[in-house]
Chain A
């Protein structure tokens, strides 16, 4: 079953096209990876999909509902999409536990006790429950990212978006996050992951979309794209990224 689908999605900033003719679909329980050079529109794509920015053309269908219509309840939509950022974006003034319960209490109206229970469940899943009383500044990058994932999962989202979840992490911490993503895959969590990280893309499997200058140029298995692809742009990108690792 299709969870999320875009048709001919386009986005412009001040008349400058950033995304063009994006046709993407994500099935329930599926993981897709979006790769592409810096500035190609990867973050913009994710932000269009949860309506943090408004696409200038095309349609986004989320569980059979056209969420590009002007009467769409964008805040309700966002509550159904978990978002994980490159720089973690934990609320620095809140403890790990409060980071995870905030949305449950203020957006879901859940009583404190229940919210704490649910938050601890997700923190346990991310192997972070023993750190629940700490503050973000007291955590390593990998730990922060796992709290951010717990925070997103606590809202019981229909899909998780990752925007370069390992870019700010060293290889060891990246592994932690890759393991988490693989674990979530086994739990059939639907995920859309934007990344530069070839190792991440390889390790989690899933189909890879190659985005360049706002256009999806290719889609296939990681190995298919990373191997000797016929498109020179794709070859150039992957050989350069492989060189960076």
Chain B
């Protein structure tokens, strides 16, 4: 069995790794955006609740939360499928971090522009939609890339709930062939390839929507 064969076998698990990473990142984006928006529009009580959520979910280890959801909740009669368990653990934790990224980016939006938009007659929601969010997303690109990468690196936990992603394939292969060094080196290469594609895609998007003088320093 050549190194190429090993890579080819692992590639079958790469699809699941990508699926888990995308779903958890998407969950994180949705949650992070919601957090940032509610912070901006909501009352002080809402902000306090969100701060507690962020505090808790940034503090809890991914694996612990994953086990609570996947192994704990069924005990209370709530069965959660593996992928959904990943989204409710890794995804929510990513959301807590992304919420902070977005909040910081929102603070970089020039208050004078917000004032100008309100003076023009826009509602608070319109100001958020047309002025604050488009700038916030552009400011957030480095933080988002960072968080997506983190999600990718935590995706191997998916094997603990039975998702046949790259790590799971590698462990089976390694047990059968005892060629651990090559196999895990190949695993590293697969992750690196996924990472490269992900980052290239995000930066291509960033370039497509780049505005002169907005994000260059």
Contacts and interface: CB of A to CB of B under 8 A. Distances in A.
A93 B214 CA distance: 7
Contacts of B110: 89, 92
A2 interface: no
Interface string A153-175: 00100000000000000000000
Given A89-B113, A92-B110, A52 B119 contact: yes
B123 interface: yes
Contacts of A115: none
Interface string A28-60: 000000000000000000000010100000000
Q: Classify chain A's interface size.
A: 20 to 34
Contacts of A138: 212-213
Contacts of B120: 78-79, 83, 103, 107, 155
A99 B112 CA distance: 14
B58 interface: no
A89 B112 CA distance: 5
Contact of A93 (B122, B126, B134): B134
A83 B117 CA distance: 10
A91 B121 contact: no
Interface string B105-146: 000001011011111111100100011001100100000000
A102 B130 CA distance: 8
Interface string A127-153: 000000001111000000000000000
B212 A52 contact: no
Closest 5 CB pairs of A and B: A137-B213, A79-B121, A89-B116, A83-B119, A78-B121
Interface of B: 110, 112-113, 115-123, 126, 130-131, 134-135, 138, 211-214
23 contacts: A52-B118, A75-B121, A76-B121, A78-B118, A78-B120, A78-B121, A79-B120, A90-B116, A92-B110, A92-B211, A92-B213, A93-B135, A93-B138, A93-B211, A103-B120, A103-B122, A135-B213, A135-B214, A136-B213, A137-B212, A137-B214, A138-B212, A138-B213
